[in-house]
Amino acid sequence: MAKEAKPKNDSGSSSDSKIWGLADTTSTWTIKRYFSKWVVKNKKGEDSTTLKPEHYYLAKLAQPLDSVNYEFKVVLFRIKSGLYADFVPMNKDNWMNSRLASGSLFEVHSLARITLGNNKMKLSWLGADCMKEMIEKKRVRIKYQWMKDANRFVLTATPNDLTGMIDIYANQKRFIDWENQKAMLELNRLN
């Protein structure tokens, strides 16, 4: 089950920290490694099923009372001592009910830092405000594009540039304070 994680410096009065939609916090999150599956004919002409583990996971949010599902392709990676997840929305039919998905309507990636412990997984997404401040104060130089209609920017840098940025800034609390991002969830293991 998911619950919104509060930023450490949140006094509870800011509505800014309450950004999660019902789908994100009332749904059951299922995270499984993705296996590609195909059927081939063996030498005897019989069908043989082959499973191949892929290098990503599928995160599904399923609401208990209906059949609405939200899906994300999740690629895990490490940089130094940090574990990160790259979320890409899939199954776009019901995006507007999910804050996580609707925040990525441009079909862009969203980055979360993962902390594991006590049968819990804490996800802290790198916020647009944090990136905006880093760019405006010229702390980081990275390519982006301003989306006027959405009143936000989208990073357009190469994966190598983004990885380099994470490598340099992710462990420096003065640049990215993962404990005080607006979008944080704590997932509790059910089984």
Query: For the segment 77-105, what is each residue's pLDDT rounded down to a tens digit?
Result: 999 989 999 988 886 655 555 555 555 45
Strands in 2-4's sheet, in edge-to-edge order, are: 2-4, 184-188, 120-125, 110-117, 82-90, 69-79, 47-62, 28-41
Q: Please indicate, yes or no, if residue 190 is contained in any of the structural domains.
A: no
Question: Do residues 2 and 185 lie in contact, with contact meaning Cβ atoms separated by under 8 Å?
Answer: yes
Higher pLDDT, 85 or 25: 85
C-alpha to C-alpha distance for 88 and 111, rounded to whole angstroms = 9
Q: Please indicate, yes or no, if residue 84 is contained in any of the structural domains.
A: yes
Lowest average pLDDT, out of 7-21, 25-39, 177-191, goes to 7-21
Give the C-alpha distances (Å, rounded to integers) separating 80 from 91, 134, 163: 32, 21, 11
Report whether pLDDT(11) > 50. no
Q: Please indicate, yes or no, if residue 40 is contained in any of the structural domains.
A: no
Q: Please indicate, yes or no, if residue 191 is contained in any of the structural domains.
A: no
Number of domains in the chain: 1
Q: Please indicate, yes or no, if residue 43 is contained in any of the structural domains.
A: no
Q: Please indicate, yes or no, if residue 42 is contained in any of the structural domains.
A: no
Q: Please indicate, yes or no, if residue 31 is contained in any of the structural domains.
A: yes
Mean pLDDT of 3-10: 62
Report whether pLDDT(16) > 50. no
pTM over 0.85: no
Q: Please indicate, yes or no, if residue 173 is contained in any of the structural domains.
A: yes
Domain span at 20: 2-7+15-35+50-183
Average pLDDT, the chain: 78
Confidence of residue 152 (pLDDT cuts 50, 70, 90): confident
